[in-house]
Copies of this chain bind each other. A is one copy, B any other.
């Protein structure tokens, strides 16, 4: 199946790096569709981003190629991966970023990328290695791929859920690594001394009250009606949460 769009998933922020990715792709595949899905993932935390990636893909169109770059080990000898799962392709470092979605997929193919460009910087493999790999894949060019066992991925032993805050959104809402689907509505999430109850949506809760709900990604999110949950609860990306009780 042909690839119809590239999708950028990075921790680059809105600065000079994401633009260079876009420009490099446009020079390799002029006019090709590129979508910025998320570029403000927590910096240097592939272990958190990994649990957002699969939920974010859930409602996305097939035939997408995800360029995933949260890569604190750039410049070391960590491998680069190509993954085919859920009707889409993903390219990224072998640092756990792609592991949970591979583990969750009914079927997934994983290859180590053997091809390297003649020259590349030591610090920007997204631009210099992964973007050219994506272009070569689209054009059917050689990538010296070596099929891997799923179990050999860094992070293959990670659990299916993560009892931490993955991401704080612009409104101060706290997206967790817990699945909401299938969780009973009377489940109570404990954060230190606080017991956080479920609500379906913001409007069901008094102003200033924290609650948890199933967010638009299908994850448990902690929010405060007309307030910022991050400030109210003193929590940030990477902080542990739980346990659950009934």
Q: Which residues of B contact A30 (CB under 8 A)?
A: 4-5, 33, 61
Q: Is A111 an interface residue (CB 8 A)?
A: no
A27 and B75 contacting across the interface, CB-CB below 8 Å: no
* Chain B hits for A24, CB < 8 A: 59
CB atoms of A201 and B26 under 8 A apart: no
Q: Are A38 and B15 touching (Cβ within 8 A)?
A: yes
Mark each residue of chain A from 4 to 18: 1 if its CB lies under 8 Å from any CB of chain B, else 0.
Answer: 110100011111111
- The answer to the question of A127 belonging to the interface, with a C-beta cut-off of 8 Å to chain B, is yes
Task: For A102, list chain B residues within 8 Å (CB).
Answer: none
The DSSP consensus for interface residues of chain A is: loop
Instruction: Given the known inter-chain contacts A127-B216, A200-B75, please indicate yes or no for A171 contacting B23, CB distance below 8 A.
Output: no
Q: Could you tell me if B36 and A22 are in contact, using CB atoms closer than 8 angstroms?
A: yes
Are B27's CB and A122's CB within 8 A? no
> Which stretch in A39-47, A140-148, A185-193 binds the other chain?
A39-47
Cα A98 to Cα B173 in complex, Å, equals 26
- The proximity string for A residues 67-90 relative to B, scoring 1 for CB distances below 8 Å and 0 otherwise, is 000001111100000000000000
Answer whether A43 and B170 are a contact pair too, CB < 8 Å, given A56-B20, A60-B27, A75-B202: yes
Can you list 22 A-B pairs with a CB-CB distance of less than 8 A?
Answer: A5-B30, A7-B23, A12-B170, A15-B169, A15-B170, A16-B37, A16-B56, A16-B169, A20-B37, A20-B216, A23-B35, A23-B60, A43-B170, A59-B127, A72-B226, A73-B203, A74-B201, A75-B201, A121-B214, A121-B216, A122-B214, A123-B201
